[in-house]
Structure 1
Amino acid sequence: MLAQTAQAETQHDLALVDIWSWSLDQSDDEIARLSTLLSTDEVIRAARFIKERDAMRYVAGRGRLRLILGDYLGIAPRKLTFAYNDFGKPYLTSASREDLHFNLSHSADRAVLAISDRFPLGIDIEQARPMEEDIAGHFFSPKECAILRAMPQHLYIPGFYRCWTRKEAFVKAHGAGLSLALDAFDVSLGSETTLRLERLDDTIGTPDDWSLLDLAVPEGFFGAVAALTAGTPVGLRYRS
């Protein structure tokens, strides 16, 4: 009981980022309902998918995103409007809360959404798959590649996906998209509880400006959240 109380008090002292997670494989009736919430451009985009499953998963992702954000803002989901920065990161333009930061990621049948009213953030989830090519050598920093190559074979895939999701979450939080070189910063590849950027090009900022956290995800997936917290302690609050 004392341990639970201490944990609750510790979380109470943290600034919290809300995390939502849901399945993209929904019933036909639910897809039909969510379709009514989409904007015209979203409906057009859904129609462009070649595979029906991909179209339905897109509707499940965007529709649920609108439901959740609409609930935070007290706005009908259909009335939410989005814009995108020069690198494709979306933000709300609906009247009232342009300061509500959010980021959505999906992989296979899972979607995850991070929301904060304080911090720019990014989130990434990936389903782990075997790899036959040296993806790390193309995208990771020399230090990260060296650490990954030194890992025992059975730890290579977990190490790779921890690195990938942490780097992708940071890139999305930073907002510069693919213009930000993935070797301009280092992240840890281990399963330690406390994470941080280990190196950041000084033209971008300092590692201490950022918080990096692992997501609790289903088995077979890896995920991470990055937020520009400027030293403020932050934690994750899982919602449903």
Structure 2
Amino acid sequence: MSESRSNYTPRPMSNATTYALGGVAVSLIVLIVIAAFQWGRDDVAVRNDGYGSVRDTEVRAVLEQDGSILLGRPEPKKTITIFEDPLCPGCGNLERIYGQEIAEQIDTGALAVRYRLVNFLDDRSKSKDYSTRAVAASRCVAEAGSGPVYSRFHTDLFTTKRPSEGGADLNNTELAALARTAGAGEPVMQCIETGAEVDAARTTATAQTTALGDALGGSAATPSVFDGTTKVDVGDENWVAALTE
């Protein structure tokens, strides 16, 4: 799957790549559809380019019991859900194009985001467990509680540092260094380097994949964004703005 330029708006391709995953806490096979994107010829700037990641120190990251990571201010006007795999090219495109626009809406309290991270692309990483380890690292960073730190880590994880499918990926030491760059402290580094959250990440990421399949009627696609139980059309370049109207 080819990498895409970051300054174009994504549109779904007609020939999405499909993977089959069996036996994730259910007896039926769950079809995993990795959303691929093609980019139009008309240049469209990254949404809210220059804003960066979340800034407000009142924004908190919360690692929830089911493994979801909630990023937002207290009492946001709306909470949306984003399903992503750390190796997914489409997820990287989503974060590059809309991440800064989302960050500003989080800072203002208009939105909070519940990230539900999945790991069905493990086998497409060189280490064969990159997605799981990246989810584990995300858990370590989120447990520390800082919204701006988690936001910076998440942004880098999905954009500038996201490996290509089948290419070299990040080891735990490199994931820990990424967290350090984002501003995380030594306990977070230790958590990532020792793989303390890997087993929990594998369990929760598999469960999140099943939940996504259920939400989409038996197939799962990343990235997938939900406003409550309604799937958001991320092919509409104004989808973030529409959610906050």
Q: TM (normalized to structure 1)?
A: 0.30
Larger Rg: 1
User: Higher relative contact order by CA 8 Å / sep ≥ 6: 1 or 2?
Assistant: 2
**Structure (1 or 2) with the greater strand fraction:** 1
